[in-house]
Structure 1
């Protein structure tokens, strides 16, 4: 039971900071926050993504490229140009690392105002940090796993963020339904997004990329992250941009 709770915490908290901080803030800037709150989000992203930590700068820039080049050869992750999900994710990893390490020239529109905390990113992305988290996960399982099958969840802890990425970037362009006909393969993966906290409404998101609410087109499309953002806005922790709020 402890292991399942642990995995659920890693899944949903890691996913929350991915969609709230990396996606809706770093990539699309649907809201603003203070520099102190931004730094807290960097740290909390590291805490809950652990060995999977993704830089807000690297993720934000790469995701902007995805929208600009969706389903073309320049798209960092498109099922149309990779034979399987593993080759797609390997290419995505390579492009992400090239962006983070400034090994490729980038158009200013992709890097404009992308949040970056270089010293923290260097630490959080280091092999030492990733190995330390991996050792922590393994020790946690050693002390709390009560059945052999629970160890099957250990690789999930190691690769949580890539698993999230595969679900949306691969399956979200192959499986599901569409609300909007577009010049790309984006789909809404789940009618009710119980698994991805709103991220699965991928077709909606490609239609209205700068909206904070990924759901809401149909009555059953409930985006949990958006409602958390509304609460944070009311508490004045963040400030949603008027253009990002669903009408």
Structure 2
């Protein structure tokens, strides 16, 4: 079974996580009428947003799910805890959902695709009655004691992300560094699923509707270069050109230069050239979503996709 039912308790919690940050953010904006945001509140918001965003992009996504680099436990733990503080679910569940997304991107089995609707891709999927089965999609991660521990203690880390801004800035610290930060982290991440499968350009041939989007690229620490990512899922760099700003890749590169991480996956120009979309194919793709008519393009994407799948499978199941 690819999915498991969501309990009533979990449904209530998910509803609260969607609506409470939204209402709190509306109140925060309203409160600006009589009280400008203080420098302390702004710092709490920016620092909290940045750490939680990097926890998702570097930790949950590029490190844990796609194995874009190897890191010691203290670095892995740091990023996974920061990811937990983003209130996007335990690391194991996040990885399982994302792996299912890549396995069925923009198809019926995709947990969050605009094929069903833009709203569904953005937030509607969170309120679905089913969730991907962790055992099926992220089984190897269940053998990782650190990942399992941080996933099992997710609630602790998530609540800590609310306690810290309250201790630093009181109720307004909690409002801006807790609720507003959570709202921004959520909707920017969700925009990768919705906006970046609907609006933007395509540099590489893929079997889905992934797009590169500059605005989301900036807001989501480089995750908006989504067509690049779907073409080369294991790449630690989502920005493939100097002008494609990718803060997550800069952090990874900095840690590598310091000798703190290793085995960083990068894609050669030769491999990129083989997957590039011609102008004709790109235009055709926009007119006929989900269809690639040119045999050469279809062969290229199938070969490239199979190579990525085999590479990731080998990384998750190393030889004895």
* Structure-2-length-normalised TM-score: 0.61
Deviations 1:68-94 (A, max 9, x none): 100111111111124623313323x95
1:1-247 aligned at under 5 Å gives the runs 1-46=39-84, 49=85, 52=87, 54-82=89-117, 84=119, 85-91=122-128, 94-95=130-131, 99=134, 106=136, 110-113=138-141, 115=144, 117-125=147-155, 130=158, 133-134=161-162, 137=165, 142=170, 144=172, 155-190=179-214, 193-217=217-241, 219-241=242-264, 244-247=265-268
Segment of structure 1 superposing worse, 175-184 or 200-209: 175-184
Q: Aligned in 2, Cα 1:2/1:119: closer, same or farther, shift over 3 Å?
A: same
Count, aligned residues:
226
CA distance in 2, matches of 1:133, 1:231: 25
Segment of structure 1 superposing worse, 184-193 or 56-65: 184-193
CA distance in 1, matches of 2:258, 2:234: 22
Residues 191, 220 of structure 1: 8 Å contact kept: no
> What is the Cα deviation at residue 192 of structure 1?
8.7
Residues 48, 177 of structure 2: 8 Å contact kept: no
* Aligned-partner SS, 1:95: strand
What is the root-mean-square deviation in Å for CA atoms of aligned residues? 3.0
> What is the Cα deviation at residue 194 of structure 1?
2.6
Partner of 2:294: none
CA distance in 1, matches of 2:248, 2:164: 28
Deviations 1:36-88 (A, max 9, x none): 43233333444xx25x1532222222211111100111111111124623313
Partner of 2:6: none
* Aligned-partner SS, 2:214: coil
* Aligned-partner SS, 1:238: coil
Larger relative CO (CA 8 A, sep 6+): 1 or 2?
A: 1
CA distance in 2, matches of 1:13, 1:184: 30
* Aligned-partner SS, 2:217: coil
Residues 17, 44 of structure 1: 8 Å contact kept: yes
> What is the Cα deviation at residue 220 of structure 1?
1.8
CA distance in 2, matches of 1:88, 1:136: 30
CA distance in 2, matches of 1:201, 1:140: 35
> What is the Cα deviation at residue 144 of structure 1?
5.0
